[in-house]
A and B are shown apart, each in its own frame.
Chain A
């Protein structure tokens, strides 16, 4: 086993997912498969290849940077329109403790 049930439960908790015992078993098998595939990739010789952070890296070096120019913000009522709860121009969420 590449991944234990305990690790699956921990990952689910970090992702705020409530998984049933059956789902835990299913995801464990699932993740097992993914990790096996990654192991397969690890067999490739990559010693001379610079690690790549993502695939978009092509073209001029500073392409993709933005000028510091202000654009109109979303009006507050629209910004809050998808929120289940709002008040005083703010999003309202179940009370949380300071991190």
Chain B
């Protein structure tokens, strides 16, 4: 049966409506072991090699809370300006699904770890806005189901529990966002803050950051919220933006047509860019939360909280300001350099070693970013270390390399992973500043081009560029341009 055709509203109609967006972000906390048991939750290992009685839901197994998971949850909470509750309580969320052998997920419900936070977002046009964070609570991740790819996938789903029990922080926003751009900026801000706090690497390719999107629309001026739809399975920020835009157009068209929005969960299809209803769920969600009897309430006293607060790394807003003050980079550069923790660490290491932070800022944003993008690598995977870049830039600063040569050497360093000095040595790429050597070359060129020499001496000094070109050609671009110019002018004067 063909699905009924979905009608999407046009931008003009959409403009008559206000969009209300709230986001739930799940962040996997950086710990060695699971939240309630001592096996690993490392990504990418053979299926079901990271289980234990708690993860498997074996009879009699009891959860024991991982102190490090709590600390990471608190770091994430502090990064997004949440107030930490002295007492929080774990609760059972009951549902049956194969990725959850116990038949319930241990989460937090009416007494979460942290509440009342906010993050400031900035849109591309420079508008700033504060988005409220309702709460951050701790919970365990579920396993991974695979529905296709096996010979008998038409009959069976495959279940890997390596991820089951991984520590998660769920961050719930207030319904404060009014456009897909704001949602995108919010996600970017959350990722950046949590990453810098050290609570999570937020590597989306490893599923360490996932988000669910709540969208509703209402005619402009209307007070009460419209009925919302929740979109799941959104695994990139770009997809979140696309899912929101699709939902807006779909919901506005329904309301315009006099219809009613159904409160439901929808799935985003990242190939078609559409959301579809998960009709499979007939029963309404009824999780029958109740306090987890196997775990005592979590108490975070002032002493513990104080220790964690004192150990908090520098967060992006403070770092941005410090980069401007300490390294003299521009506001814009500082913002780009703190986009990720890796980039900011890389910049700072290279800036300190090279002694020329502005030059480092330019190279990191220019050559390095370009090369990494082409190679589809992250800063952490860069073949050129921060130390290596500093070394290269020192050679540029002291005149050993011209800027053209430095770029060549950079390319070779990136391709081979070898240090600058080694490449310069083996390829003989040093800039020639030795005037004796240059003089010999220049004399030869002047002797070989008597016509041009005459032209120059006749007053058409623009032809100097021709001679510079010849010298560069003869030295394979290694001549120091400043020295060449000076010598040429002197020699041609006769």
Taking the complex as formed, is A45 at the interface, i.e. its CB lies under 8 A from any CB of chain B? Answer: no
Q: Using known A-B contacts A91-B158, A97-B280, A98-B233, determine if residue A54 contacts B291 with beta carbons closer than 8 Å.
A: yes
Partner of B53, one of A16, A66, A70, A74: A74
Q: Which residue of chain A is the closest to B65 with respect to CB atoms?
A: A65
Query: Is the beta-carbon distance between A90 and B158 smaller than 8 angstroms?
Result: yes
Q: How far is the CA of A85 from the CA of B156 in the complex (A)?
A: 10
Note all chain B residues with C-beta closer than 8 A to A87: 150, 152, 156, 158
Q: Which residue of chain A is the closest to B111 with respect to CB atoms?
A: A53
Note all chain B residues with C-beta closer than 8 A to A79: 48, 51, 56, 161
Taking the complex as formed, is B153 at the interface, i.e. its CB lies under 8 A from any CB of chain A? Answer: yes
Taking the complex as formed, is B32 at the interface, i.e. its CB lies under 8 A from any CB of chain A? Answer: yes
A5 → chain B, closest Cβ, in Å? 17
| 1/0 contact string of B382-412 vs chain A (CB within 8 Å) | 0000000000000000000000000000000
Partner of A65, one of B48, B70, B145: B70
Partner of B98, one of A56, A76, A91: A91
Q: Using known A-B contacts A73-B52, A90-B146, determine if residue A61 contacts B38 with beta carbons closer than 8 Å.
A: no
Give the number of A-B contacts (CB < 8 Å): 144
Query: Is the beta-carbon distance between A62 and B157 smaller than 8 angstroms?
Result: no
| 1/0 contact string of B31-74 vs chain A (CB within 8 Å) | 11100001110000011111111001000000011111110000
Which of B12-20, B168-176, B177-185, B296-304 lies on the face that meets chain A? B296-304
Note all chain B residues with C-beta closer than 8 A to A64: 64-65, 295-296
Query: Is the beta-carbon distance between A73 and B51 smaller than 8 angstroms?
Result: yes
Partner of B47, one of A65, A70, A90, A99: A90
Taking the complex as formed, is A49 at the interface, i.e. its CB lies under 8 A from any CB of chain B? Answer: no
Residues of B within 8 A of A (CB): 31-33, 38-40, 46-53, 56, 64-70, 89-90, 94, 96-98, 111, 145-147, 150, 152-161, 233, 267, 278, 280-281, 283, 286, 288, 291-293, 295-297, 299, 301, 304
Which 3 A-B pairs give the minimum distances between C-beta atoms?
A68-B68, A71-B38, A91-B159
